[in-house]
């Protein structure tokens, strides 16, 4: 594979290619976010990385890169359930529409696309499928989660694989698959414990959750302990907002957590006794390193020191699960 990585972010697709074991090279990466590009270049200093708007790319420019594969994760905000769901009316879809318009002029044989769950029912998805059909690509759509490949994190995402005809897939194509086809299907795999991704020593900024968070939100938090086998999807708002942005962690065992919650249910949330009991949970946010592990980034992945934790959470929340995409790259090849 000679890969052009579009909307390259912090390099999740590149790491997935490496993880897949498929022979290939990322010839270039393109993203408009300068901080994401800084992280990408920090991890892949030898890759030609462009900081530019994808709408500005011409067929001549792309073909000059000598690529035959597109790996991309276009902006998901137009399709997220918490967003305005403007779909193709959202300005952030324009670059993706541009790529579809110039597709027939590109020397592309394979495509892998990732997006948020919900994309599969969008107008943008219809434009994508119409373009693939028109320009003679065979395709397969998926909704998959990392839990299906043994990762203790729920992160349902839409994926589409496409191959230029006459190339075909080595599995039966269906309208929408919700599992990886055999022999890749990992249905019976056991997820590892959350404890295996926990950093032994966190820096001093990762203290226990503030009292006001405990008082207001403790009952709606998804709490993981070392023996937990799953965690919630981490979003770019993690660490700034509480509800629906990802799980939190406690070193206390599960039976202690359950006992404390039984006692909390009998108390007034505004009472001092309630707060003191909630404090015993010793809850904290997961660190960026821990989240990167849950998203299957390798230990070699790192952020430049200049990128602050708030930016790290945002970049990770916009990224992909490396292991899931690695399995899809195997199917694409």
Computed from CA positions of residues 87, 91, 92, 96, in that sequence, does the dihedral angle turn out positive or negative? positive
Residue 184 above 90 pLDDT?
Answer: no
pLDDT score for 123 = 87
Q: Which residue has the higher pLDDT, 83 or 306?
A: 306
Q: Please state, rounded to an integer, the average pLDDT across all residues of the chain.
A: 92
Element (H, E) at 61: helix 59-64
pLDDT confidence of residue 36: 97
Residue pair 215/275 in contact by the 8 Å Cβ criterion: yes
The pLDDT value given to residue 122: 87
Phi, psi torsion values for 68, nearest 5 degrees: -125, 0
pLDDT in the model for residue 85:
57
Question: In the prediction, which pLDDT does 93 show?
Answer: 78
| Spatial distance between the Cα atoms of 313 and 323, rounded to a whole number of angstroms | 19
Q: Catalytic residue at 233?
A: no
CATH number for the region 207-286 comes to: 3.90.120.10
pLDDT for residue 113 = 97
> The CATH number of 2-189+321-332 is which of 3.40.50.150, 3.90.45.10, 3.90.550.10, 3.40.50.620?
3.40.50.150
**pLDDT tens digits along 247-306:** 999 999 999 999 999 999 999 999 999 999 999 999 999 999 999 999 999 999 999 999
- What does the pLDDT read at residue 78? 55
Please determine, for residue 104, whether its predicted confidence score (pLDDT) is greater than 60.
yes
Question: Given 76, 160, 224, 233, which residue is catalytic?
Answer: 76
DSSP for 79-97?
G-TTS---GGGSGGGHHHH
Query: What pLDDT does 121 receive?
Result: 87
Domain ranges for the chain, please list them: 2-189+321-332, 207-286
- pLDDT tens for each residue of 118-144: 889 888 899 999 999 999 999 999 999
Going by the DSSP 8-state scheme, the letter that residue 239 receives in this structure is T
For 3-19, what is each residue's pLDDT tens digit? 999 999 999 999 999 99
* Long-range pairs, 181-188, Cβ under 8 A, ≥24: 181/331, 184/327, 184/330, 184/331, 186/148, 186/149, 186/150, 186/327, 187/148
- Cβ neighbours of residue 35 closer than 8 Å, sequence gap 6 or more: 307, 311, 315
């Amino acid at each position: 594979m000679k890969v052009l990585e579009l909307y390259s972010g912090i390099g999740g697709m590149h790491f997935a290619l490496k993880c897949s074991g498929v022979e290939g090279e990322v010839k270039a990466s393109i993203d408009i976010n300068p901080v994401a590009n800084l992280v990408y270049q920090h991890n892949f200093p030898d890759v030609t990385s462009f900081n530019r708007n994808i709408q500005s790319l011409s067929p001549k420019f792309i073909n000059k890169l000598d690529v035959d594969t597109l790996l991309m994760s276009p902006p998901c905000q137009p399709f997220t359930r918490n967003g305005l769901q403007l779909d193709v009316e959202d300005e952030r879809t324009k670059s993706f529409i541009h790529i579809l318009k110039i597709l027939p002029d590109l020397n592309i044989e394979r495509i892998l696309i990732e997006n948020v769950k919900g994309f599969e029912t969008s107008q943008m998805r219809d434009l994508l499928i119409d373009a693939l059909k028109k320009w003679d690509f065979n395709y397969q759509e998926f909704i998959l989660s990392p839990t299906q490949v043994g990762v203790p994190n729920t992160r349902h995402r839409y994926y589409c694989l496409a191959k230029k005809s006459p190339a075909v897939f080595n599995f039966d194509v269906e309208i929408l698959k919700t599992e990886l086809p055999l022999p890749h299907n990992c249905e019976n795999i056991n997820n590892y414990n959350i404890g295996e991704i926990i950093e032994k020593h966190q820096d001093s900024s990762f203290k226990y959750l503030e009292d006001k968070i405990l008082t207001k939100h403790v009952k709606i938090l998804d709490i993981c302990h070392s023996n937990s086998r799953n965690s919630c999807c981490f979003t770019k708002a993690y660490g700034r907002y509480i509800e629906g942005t990802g799980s939190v962690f406690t070193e206390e065992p599960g039976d202690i957590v359950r006992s404390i919650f039984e006692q909390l249910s009998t108390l007034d949330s505004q009472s001092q006794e309630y707060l003191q009991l909630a404090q015993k949970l010793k809850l904290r946010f997961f660190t960026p390193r821990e989240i990167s592990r849950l998203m299957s980034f390798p230990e070699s992945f790192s952020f430049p020191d200049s990128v602050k934790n708030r930016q790290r959470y945002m970049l990770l929340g916009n990224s992909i699960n490396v292991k899931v995409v690695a399995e899809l790259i195997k199917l694409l090849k």
